[in-house]
Structure 1
């Protein structure tokens, strides 16, 4: 009897220990707080975010079931949200999932001005897209994790979970040195503002966007590109 009681106690303690180790969404551990991480989404409200070139949150965006969600009412222009704060050197982490045939992205160093019609006019983009089902297909330059239209994703390192499942992304910007991670694997690395970088801008899509990539500080943006997108566990650390 005593032996069975001890076994039950040990099992109960093991279960409790396992539960204690499970980290809740949209929270920071004590270690993360010590390291300087800050939440950009509290899991319950849209506090800390607003529309691009607007003081209000676009109607499509809401805090729903512990996620920062867009119902996909935006398009190529309009509908994106930005952080109320600006960042220069940073390490950004977040989780996301996308709807079938979906398209979205994460921009940084976003600048606002009347002549800048969208976040991507100034902010480089970490692409999020349905690599398999997007109409028209994708290339390494516009596939998930790519530095959109600038630096392709390394397909040899890429691990992408199917549409509807959660993926984790990271962007590190450290004095011009940039890394993109997808599900723990580095898939993009480049240095901004070098002669090579400037040549890529001048010879590509961004040649028609004079503000692209010029700012060294700016807002983080989440894109509504006409499809459902969900984000959670959005956190940032200044470098």
Structure 2
């Protein structure tokens, strides 16, 4: 009789602990679901699934050419492929007012860029003819490191300085953030603001007229456009690309 009571006590304890464990797992699951729901409700949309190039195409082409591949959660550019298989890639979608976040990693001496407001028509052979660029650069060894507003994180050839351009060492990941809302453009690199200007203002006209884009017919003329990742001939990788429309 005594043994029976002991077995009943043990059985009860096992059931009780199992129940507690199940409750804890269910609680964890519920918390996770809540977090996911909050993330979805925040309005952020992923532009890269980490495994494919879905949602992108090479500029003025229907698909992504061989130079760009999805591997290890990265969109990576390989400049060693034949020239006809290269080129900037752009989003299938167009965006006007948005906040964009992504991470980039550049090779030694490398140069690339994040270009937005790209108007994709045959009349313009390159993304930078219409789009505005946030520079991606190895500030130490890249050839384009002699001008302050050509450094990493700057509004390329328009606004930026060595003081605010603080990229991490080659091989490390940098966090870029671009906010464009009703013509106001604000850039951050690694949480440091690198530029802030509004299209059409006297400040914009001043920096535009001092840039190489002064007489470019289509530059920054299209409020809505695609987002491009630039083929500048150097190995570069991007990851964790997401956007929130404003």
1:37-78 per-position Cα deviation (integer Å, ceiling 9, x unaligned): 000000000000001111121210010111011112588xx6
Match of 1:8 in 2: none
Find the residue that maps to 1:131 and give its secondary structure: coil
Query: Which structure has the larger Rg?
Result: 2
In structure 2, the CA distance between the partners of 1:139 and 1:83, relative to structure 1 (3 Å rule), is same
Asked if 2 retains the 8 angstrom alpha-carbon contact of 1:128 and 1:143, the reply is: yes
Q: Within the alignment, does 1:196 sit opposite 2:203 as a pair?
A: yes
CA gap 1:136/1:218 in 2 versus in 1, 3 angstroms: closer
1:14 maps to: none
Matched, 1:149 2:152: no
Unaligned segments of structure 1, at least 5 residues: 1-19, 21-27
CA RMSD, 1 decimal: 2.2
Q: Deviations over 1:142-179 (max 9, x none)?
A: 000110011114x4344321011111100000111111
Gaps of 5+ in 2: 1-27, 29-34
Residue of structure 1 equivalent to 2:94: 86
Cα distance in 2 for partners of 1:139, 1:152 equals 9
CA distance in 2 between partners of 1:120 and 1:136 (Å): 16
Task: Assess if the C-alpha contact under 8 Å between 2:77 and 2:231 holds in 1.
Answer: yes
CA distance in 1, matches of 2:143, 2:228: 24
Residues 99-157 of structure 1: per-residue CA shift (max 9 Å, x gap): 1110000011100122211100000000001100113633221000110011114x434
Structure having the higher helix fraction is 2
- The answer to whether the aligner puts 1:186 opposite 2:166 as a matched pair is no
Q: Would the aligned equivalents of 2:152 and 2:166 in 1 still touch at CA under 8 Å?
A: no
Cα offset for 1:213?
0.5
Tell me what 2:110 maps to: 102
Stretches (4+) displaced over 4 A: none
Q: 2:55 aligns with which of 41, 48, 52?
A: 48
Alignment of 1:1-239 (within 5 A): 29-73=36-80, 79-135=87-143, 137-153=145-161, 155-239=162-246
TM-score for both structures, normalised by structure 2: 0.80
Aligned length: 212
